[in-house]
Amino acid sequence: MRSHLLNDTTAESYRRSVTEGVERVARKLATTRGPFTGVTPAELAPVIDAVDLDRPLGDASAALDELEDVYLRDAVYFHHPRYLGHLNCPVVIPAVLGEAVLSAVNSSLDTWDQSAGATLIERKLVDWTTARIGFGPDADGVFTSGGSQSNLQALLLAREEAGTADLSKLRIFSSECSHFSVQKSAGLLGLGQEAVLSIPVDENRRMQSVVLAAELEACRAEGLVPMAIVATAGTTDFGSIDPLPEIAALAEEYGAWMHVDAAYGCGLLTSLKRRHLLDGIERADSVTVDYHKSFFQPVSSSALLVRDGAALRHATYHADYLNPRRTVAEQIPNQVDKSLQTTRRFDALKLWMTLRVMGADGVGELFDEVCDLARAGHDLLAADPRYDVVVEPQLSTLVYRYVPEAAASPAEIDRANLHARKALFASGEAVVAGTKVDGRQYLKFTLLNPETTVADIAAVLDLIAGHAEQYLGENLVHA
């Protein structure tokens, strides 16, 4: 069994094994015909059930053959131009290379004595990101597992900075389009989900700062504490960006922590055309970025950045076995002092390789391309009588619904759109997402693949209309 350990004597077997895996994936990428096969859980479950985990195959080639059946054949492929579903991106090759290196070396970013240079690389990338945000020299941050964790940590810092022992008095303000991790975090932090006040959005799905101001005033009048305002820079559903300068001014006036959730919009930090959309972000106390969304990085790669690094002390605990107090005096850089995690992946290496190979402009160019594509897609939808489109995209999301020519009830239209989404998924020809707008069923394209063309969007709209029409036609027959 020692032959399976990665070490000096097995370097050759490592090279062969990983190369074979890379070959298989490369072949797969070259030959996939659609983003999905349409397999159902019921079809796939028996294939996976049939694998006896107590009878190993003993050999990487055999395991890879099996993997074809249990995973590779039916995976959902984000690199395919007709994957238009959730906020998943195709990944850039330098980042995948970084991934291969980091898992083989297997550094753990909790302490210097488990990571050495990796810690300094992560710190340099944190500094790079805070500089792009426009934070000053006191800024700091840490890589996290994802935007949900970044948001949780931001709100933990905000709770501690609020300086109120009575948690029942704390309130968090975020728009009705903010990410659900805000509510989840409030629950985890002992505030209860009710501590989050949902601020309505305008017709462009941006937080109404006038309502925010009124709610803050009401909060103060009731003797409650406005702990944090969460501004979303790129809402999950619409890609809309809350008015950051107005929110920053209100946060200052009411002494609230300003958190900007830029999990999606962070790609703008590298944009050559659209960086101004984030103006005001530099006034935040903390910022969430998901490199695994708009920096084309493999999952996971995310960070929490703070304007004043001292705030990260709220996540610090000294353990004799890991990061004893003396290590602070000795100036040993232990990232665990800033993190909610202990053992932690060297995800920063993927971004490092990306910047060293492509540069930030390269990332920004790709993100600008998908934002441009969204504009073109919006024009297409706006001109198409079969569709009703909700907002002009600020980023790369389109929310729309099929509307039949013939009279149909709102409920029937809802069902037709839902059916179209499901039928499309089952066909494997394209993957789109769905959401509700003002209680009605809508469909959504999240465009993160620069290889997707306007022709792809047009073709998928035809497919959707076809499924929806067929559904309504059959319904009429049965009515």
Buried b (16+ CB within 10 A) or exposed e, 409-431: eeebbbbbbbbbbebbbeebbbb
Query: In the complex, what is the shortest distance from the CB of residue 229 to ligand PLP, in angstroms, rounded to a whole number?
Result: 15
Question: Which uninterrupted H or E stretch holds 221?
Answer: helix 209-221
Choice from 119, 208, 270, 302 touching ligand PLP (CB under 6 A): 302
**What is the DSSP secondary structure assignment for residue 200, as one 8-state letter?**
P
| Binding map of ligand PLP across residues 222-251, x = CB under 6 A, - = no contact | ----------x-xxx---------------
Exposure of 145 in the CB half-sphere (CA atoms within 13 A): 10
Q: Which stretch binds ligand PLP (CB under 6 A): 29-37, 260-268, 385-393, 445-453?
A: 260-268
Which residue type occupies 429?
A: E
Q: Is the peptide bond preceding residue 115 cis, with omega within 30 degrees of 0?
A: no
Q: Find out whether 445 and 431 touch, Cβ atoms under 8 Å.
A: no
263 binds ligand PLP (CB under 6 A): yes
Chain center to CA of 357 = 23
**CA trace torsion 178, 394, 459, 386 (10° rounding):** 80
Cβ-proximal residue to ligand PLP, closest one: 147
Nearer to ligand PLP, 238 or 400 (CB): 238
Query: In the complex, what is the shortest distance from the CB of residue 354 to ligand PLP, in angstroms, rounded to a whole number?
Result: 17
Question: How distant, in Å, are the alpha carbons of 168, 238, 301, 311, 467 from that of 225?
Answer: 9, 30, 33, 19, 51
Nearer to ligand PLP, 293 or 421 (CB): 293
Name the residue with tokens 């997707």: 452
Query: In the complex, what is the shortest distance from the CB of residue 255 to ligand PLP, in angstroms, rounded to a whole number?
Result: 24
Nearer to ligand PLP, 236 or 334 (CB): 236
| Binding map of ligand PLP across residues 136-175, x = CB under 6 A, - = no contact | ----------xxx--x------------------------
290 binds ligand PLP (CB under 6 A): yes
Nearer to ligand PLP, 154 or 251 (CB): 154
Choice from 264, 295, 296, 367 touching ligand PLP (CB under 6 A): 264
* Calpha distance 338→316 (Å, rounded): 6
Strand bridging mode 170-175 / 196-199: parallel
Choice from 261, 337, 368, 456 touching ligand PLP (CB under 6 A): 261
| Binding map of ligand PLP across residues 80-99, x = CB under 6 A, - = no contact | -------x------------
Angle at 3 between CA 52 and CA 27, to 5 degrees: 65
For ligand PLP, the binding residues in 329-348 under the rule CB under 6 A are: none
Query: In the complex, what is the shortest distance from the CB of residue 143 to ligand PLP, in angstroms, rounded to a whole number?
Result: 12
Query: In the complex, what is the shortest distance from the CB of residue 262 to ligand PLP, in angstroms, rounded to a whole number?
Result: 8
Which residues are at the interface with ligand PLP (CB under 6 A)? Answer: 87, 146-148, 151, 179, 181, 232, 234-236, 261, 263-264, 290, 302
